[in-house]
Amino acid sequence: MKTQKVWFVTGASKGLGLTLVKRLLKEGYKVAATSRDAAALSEEVGYTGADFLPLQMDIANNDSVAKTIAQIIATLGGIDVVVNNAGYGQLGTLEELSDTEARQNFDVNVFGSLNVIRNVMPHFREKKSGAFFNISSIAGFLGTFPGWGVYNATKFAVAGFTEALSAEVKSMGISATIVYPGYFKTNFLLQGSLRTAASPIADYKEARDLEVIHNEQIIGNQPGDPENAAAAFIKVAEMENRPLHLFLGSDSFAMANSKIEAVQHDLAAFESISKSTDFQK
């Protein structure tokens, strides 16, 4: 039965992850979900049946991830769909952010997902099936957001390794999808999921202006509905041919088209220079 597929969702205590877990359980799927606090996660989800396995996991620790995945397989019988959702936003210009701040963001957003993939793949390879949904962001496709450079870089990295993963596992019957959400009405922009630079520099007007826009205009007015996003995840997961690139939200869709148009413009405008670097025959 399709409704007995096992989903593994990381970073499930809030936002899109929490909404997805609740929707999956409502529709009859088995769900393993992780957070830094399993008790709080269980309370947020509000489900006590055997189909739900809430677990505490340190996404940045490979041993913790390996033990968690082994427990999921032993308890629920396997894993069919992985949603690499754990992550947080780190604001600050490239000059402002310390090496520690930047590396911590990469540890969670990039290396955390790699830990999950590395430890799930032996199971997927054995059964010759499985689906990865790696959560990037529209900021992992269009990067011109001042003050978001390190976060953007983590999300571009997610897109990059997911493209490679999709090619590496294709012959095994496994899929990999990059998910680029736009702004959804969740608590991502609130404290906890979004961190600011410890040592801001006042000269960065564009970055400060964008912070004000997020705080005063975007919070509470995000166009995306998390419930509709959860439904989209489930619909795509049940498809035989899943996309490599999945843009969620009309804002994400529009910004993606804007980036594609900008790249096409530069390709056309500088075609002669691009091709001038070849050896002349």
Structural tokens at position 97? 């952010």
Beta strands in the chain (DSSP E): 6-9, 30-35, 52-56, 81-84, 89-90, 130-135, 174-181, 194-195, 245-248
Choosing from 29, 151, 180, 204, which is the catalytic residue?
Answer: 151
**259 is an active site residue:** no
Whether 151 is a known active-site residue: answer yes
List, in order, residues 6 or more apart from 257 with CB less than 8 Å away: none
The one catalytic residue among 35, 136, 137, 175: 136
| C-alpha to C-alpha distance for 123 and 70, rounded to whole angstroms | 10
Q: By C-alpha distance, which of 55, 58, 59 is closest to 73?
A: 55
Task: Look up residue 172 and give its DSSP letter.
Answer: G
Tell the residue number behind the tokens 């400060």, with chain if given: 208
The answer to whether 248 and 219 have CB atoms below 8 angstroms apart is no
Sign of the torsion formed by the C-alpha atoms of 178, 182, 185 and 190 = positive
Q: Among residues 14, 22, 30, 155, which one is catalytic?
A: 155
* Cα–Cα distance measured from residue 78 to residue 76, given in angstroms and rounded to the nearest whole number: 6
Active site residue 13: no
The residues annotated with a catalytic role in the active site are: 136, 151, 155
